[in-house]
Amino acid sequence: MRPRSRLPAPPEQPRLDERPRRPSVPRGTAFRLVAVAFAVTMLGTTLPTPLYPLYQHRLGFSTLMSTVIFAAYAVGVLTALVLFGRVSDVLGRRRILLPGLACAVLSGLVFLSADSLPLLIAGRVLSGLSAGIFTGTATATLVDLADEGAGERATLVATVANMGGLGAGPLLSGLLAQLAPDPLRLPFEVHLGMLAVVTAGVWLMPEPVEVTGRPRLRMTRPRVPEQVRATFLQASIAGFAGFAVLGLFTAVAPSFLGRLLHLHDPALSGAVVCAVFAASAIGQITLVRPLGRAALPVGCSLLMAGMALLIASLAVGSLVLLLGAAVAAGLGQGVSFRAGLAAINAEAPPGQRAEVASTYFIVVYVAISAPVVGVGVAADVVGLRAAGIGFNVAVALLAASALVAVRRSRRER
């Protein structure tokens, strides 16, 4: 009887601790690399802003379509917030940051070949996905990588990276469109080069959280506990008003400058939008803590002042008033947003804090898109000037209602 042949033994697998480790940089270096990656990613989300008039001229679409293209960004952000808000807690920060950067790269590639409305919308959705995936994860990563006891500094760095990137995007593309050739390609080529560098940096970062298992893709359901609802309502009204203003400036400011003030320089459009985000960052960083309990009312008051200046600017066609409106509204948005989020976090039960914060972000990102589309519809019916003035009055009334609600609740306490 012939002996039974044996299958060759499988190759011996290396033990887990013997497998080659991925090279990584020190935590301090990783902190700086993630902060830069955060800024570069957010820069890409506002990069097209000064270019919308150029796309309008080339493709022949209306102001309404400009606002729809912009609103597609918010669709991407909301999708990412709802579907991927907590995945990095399970899968790891680096494994989520890298797909966020990949969405930013895809967005840039789409814009390089964007010769139709569907491609512009696709590019904006991908840009929104990158922001929605990246924002919460990058902030958490910076906190994780910070030295012990430096969580507040990490949050400050995250704020600067976020708002600084948002402000730098239109400034960069506006300058390139004004001073360099091929304005609808060069800004995205420059940004893709930046993304290549920061992607390498994120690849080299150490993983700051323990990977605990396989994540389940679950939708984040907007919920607010009963004990937080009064504060949440006040903060949400102010936050809605502030983010609606950001949406207005980002989506329609170039049209305001070109059609109402007869100023067609992309660099100027980029500077105006940059002023809004820079003022928001300054308000969040420098004013919220000194103002304390007065921060939310002051933020609402600044929003109202910004809307008054913007109405005057649209009525008389003044660039100086428009810049003043950008600064006042940006300060008001930054102060009211951060004060509102702080108030919600202070009252929310610890086990539901992330859920309540996510609901707040869903509210404000709806605000950055839906009202602006309304402005686009109204602009096609009654004209851009009347639509802008009507929008500003509505935002001022929202800010005033939040101010009244805050004061009434404090008197009742």
What pLDDT does residue 272 have?
93
Three-state DSSP class for residue 143: helix
Return the top range by mean pLDDT from 14-23, 55-64, 136-145, 173-182.
Answer: 173-182
pLDDT in tens, 166-222: 999 999 999 999 998 899 999 999 999 999 999 999 999 988 877 665 656 566 566
Percent with pLDDT over 70 in the chain: 88
pLDDT bin (cut points 50, 70, 90) of residue 241 is: very high
Query: Under a CB-based contact definition with an 8 Å cutoff, are residues 112 and 47 in contact?
Result: no
* Nearest residue to 78 (alpha-carbon basis) of 342, 330, 335, 367: 367
pLDDT in tens, 354-382: 667 778 888 888 888 888 888 888 888 89
pLDDT bin (cut points 50, 70, 90) of residue 85 is: low
What pLDDT does residue 413 have?
62
Query: For the residues 73-86, what does the mean pLDDT come to?
Result: 82
Query: Which CA distances in Å does 322 have to 169, 335, 391, 400?
Result: 20, 20, 15, 21
What pLDDT does residue 14 have?
47
**202: how many CB neighbours lie within 10 A of its CB?**
22
The chain-wide mean pLDDT, for the chain, equals 85
What pLDDT does residue 7 have?
46
pLDDT in tens, 102-116: 999 999 999 999 889
Query: For the residues 274-294, what does the mean pLDDT come to?
Result: 91
Cα distance between residue 81 and residue 140, in whole Å: 14
Cα distance between residue 372 and residue 248, in whole Å: 6
Q: Is the pLDDT of residue 143 over 90?
A: no
Residues whose CB is less than 8 angstroms from the CB of residue 8 and which lie 6 or more positions away in sequence, other chains included: none
Fold of 25-210: Growth Hormone; Chain: A; (1.20.1250)
What pLDDT does residue 353 have?
67
Query: Under a CB-based contact definition with an 8 Å cutoff, are residues 71 and 222 in contact?
Result: no
Cα distance between residue 129 and residue 107, in whole Å: 9
Domains of the chain, by residue range, sit at: 25-210, 224-413
Q: Do domains 25-210 and 224-413 have the same CATH topology?
A: yes
CATH of domain 224-413: 1.20.1250.20
| Residue 400, token pair as written in the block | 């005033």
pLDDT bin (cut points 50, 70, 90) of residue 400 is: very high
